[in-house]
Homo-oligomer: A and B are copies of this chain.
Amino acid sequence: MSDYPSFVYLHEEGPREGIQIEPRQLTVAQKTGFIESLAETGLRQIDCVSFVNPKRVPSMADADEVARTLKRKPGVRYTGLWLNHQGLLRALSLPLDVVGSLRVTASELFSIRNTNRTIAQTLDEQQLWLETYREHGIELEWGYVMTAFGCSYQGHVPLEQVLTMVQHVVDLAAEFEQPLKGVYLCDTVGFATPRDIEERVGAVRERYPHLRIGLHLHDTRGTGMPNVYAALRMGVDEFDSSVAGLGGCPFASHKGAAGNVCTEDIVFMCHEMGIETGIDLEALIDCARSAEDLFGHPLPGKVMHAGSLARFRNAA
């Protein structure tokens, strides 16, 4: 009836998602302190910074300093996000874990507006990324397909468009003789419902049974957690997520919040369902609560406010 994984890997996106969108500017020490606390919870991968134009995202102007100042815990990968080759080179110049990845968009309109490149131009640039990985001995891991469930500019994104992008990624990896670990299907703008998860995870898995599938989900319209559950049922065991539900709209408290699906809510649901994550839920809840102090307003996570069920185990 279901195919739950026994262990789920969560890639923490909270520091990057939060810092790039929250109106309150943090000091380098606040940023590194937050990341270091997260690293103590058992998380194995934490996205720390993004390499974007500081004129567009001023809070990321100190990304290099954050990466250099960070006290690294062994066994944790500290990553950054880049959207172009210059960003990749910047990541390589810093003490960060550069995860070999490709990044394409299923929607032409979104590709142009988000990265200023057509899909064809993006595919060309991915070759530069792959050459750079080869030069630096970095293994290719994931191909990210953005707007895989819909697009604010294009509207509906047909499944065939997504499968075409997966094929492009597979072809690029083959051309550079790099084995591809898997693809991340990204609900970049929060359109997906559980039926879409069933349809698209199912279709990619059927056509590419050797590829792992990861999901990057935004909880924009209340379907984030059902989407995680739908994926768990299908055996998906790798997700991007965001502590306290950080991310989304920076204006007016949590209004219109559209961060990644909340890390500790996923951890809570997994643990209660007998699925391990390697993460200390109580420590993660403490981090989520500290994020409210750090950013100065309530955040949309649920279990951080209600508390876990640990205190009720021996209630009677």
- A residues neighboring B (CB under 8 Å): 1-2, 109, 150-156, 190-191, 193-195, 198, 219-226, 228-230, 249, 252-258, 262, 265-266, 268-269, 272-274, 298, 300-303, 305-306, 308-309, 312-316
A2-B272 Cα distance, complex, nearest whole Å: 23
| Minimum Cβ distance to chain B for residue A99 (Å) | 27
A219-B301 Cα distance, complex, nearest whole Å: 11
A61-B155 Cα distance, complex, nearest whole Å: 49
A269: chain B residues within 8 A (beta carbon): 193-194, 221-223, 226
Tell me the nearest residue of chain B to A300, going by C-beta.
B300
- Please state if B262 and A302 are interface contacts (CB–CB under 8 Å): no
- Please state if B155 and A315 are interface contacts (CB–CB under 8 Å): yes
- Which residue, of A222, A249, A302, has the highest number of chain B Cβ atoms within 10 A? A222
- Given A226-B226, A230-B229, A254-B254, residue A306 in contact with residue B190 (CB < 8 A): yes
A227-B254 Cα distance, complex, nearest whole Å: 23
A222: chain B residues within 8 A (beta carbon): 225, 262, 265-266, 268-269, 301-303
A302 contact from B2, B220, B252, B266, Cβ within 8 A: B220
- Please state if B155 and A302 are interface contacts (CB–CB under 8 Å): no
A296-B111 Cα distance, complex, nearest whole Å: 39
- Please state if B255 and A195 are interface contacts (CB–CB under 8 Å): no
A5-B221 Cα distance, complex, nearest whole Å: 21
A193 contact from B154, B273, B306, Cβ within 8 A: B273
A150-B310 Cα distance, complex, nearest whole Å: 13
A156-B298 Cα distance, complex, nearest whole Å: 30
A305: chain B residues within 8 A (beta carbon): 249, 254-257
- Please state if B219 and A302 are interface contacts (CB–CB under 8 Å): yes
| Minimum Cβ distance to chain B for residue A36 (Å) | 25
A258: chain B residues within 8 A (beta carbon): 306
A220-B79 Cα distance, complex, nearest whole Å: 32
- Please state if A221 and B302 are interface contacts (CB–CB under 8 Å): yes
A49-B136 Cα distance, complex, nearest whole Å: 67
| Minimum Cβ distance to chain B for residue A189 (Å) | 9
A156-B258 Cα distance, complex, nearest whole Å: 33
- Please state if A220 and B154 are interface contacts (CB–CB under 8 Å): no
A257: chain B residues within 8 A (beta carbon): 302, 305
- Please state if A253 and B298 are interface contacts (CB–CB under 8 Å): yes
